[in-house]
Amino acid sequence: MSNLVDVGRASWQAVHAAMSRVVTYTPYGGNPAPFQINAFVRGLRAEDLFGDALQTDVVGIISADDLALAMPGRARPLQYDRLAAIGQVYSVQEWRGAPHYLDPVFFKLLLRGGHQ
């Protein structure tokens, strides 16, 4: 039996693609090499529920499918991966799947830094 998330996956991905911008994603440890991926970066909200969040942190939302294509064999973010967006470089502190199932549509990343 499928649900709204499963049926709408392609639509949610299309909306994300329309609202996101190309950023550079660098996996921790440098393997694989940095790659381009679409991300929607915004300020942190109370409903994001990240335990270690600081006021200056931001949230990046990336497509789980795009990440899996870019990193076969490691289709999940890791702490200390880097995301370069809006002229800044951020470090992934925490992440979670959205929705929180075994095969999420998106990953929400708690990003810290903002260094040039």
Query: Quick one: how far is CA 81 from the chain centroid?
Result: 10
pLDDT in tens, 8-57: 889 999 999 999 999 999 999 877 799 999 999 998 887 776 777 777 89
* Pairing mode of beta strands 106-115, 35-43: unpaired
DSSP 49-73: --TT--TT-EEEEEEHHHHHHHSTT
pLDDT in tens, 51-77: 777 778 999 999 999 999 999 888 899
All structural domains of the chain, each given as residue ranges with its CATH number in brackets, are: 4-115 (2.40.10)
For residues 110 and 59, the answer to whether their CB atoms sit within 8 Å is: yes
- Helix or strand or coil: residue 19? helix
* Those residues with Cβ within 8 angstroms of residue 40's Cβ, 6 or more apart along the chain or in another chain: 16, 19, 20, 21, 60, 61
- Of the pLDDT bands very low, low, confident and very high (cuts 50, 70, 90), residue 1 is low
For residues 38 and 16, the answer to whether their CB atoms sit within 8 Å is: yes
pLDDT at 84: 95
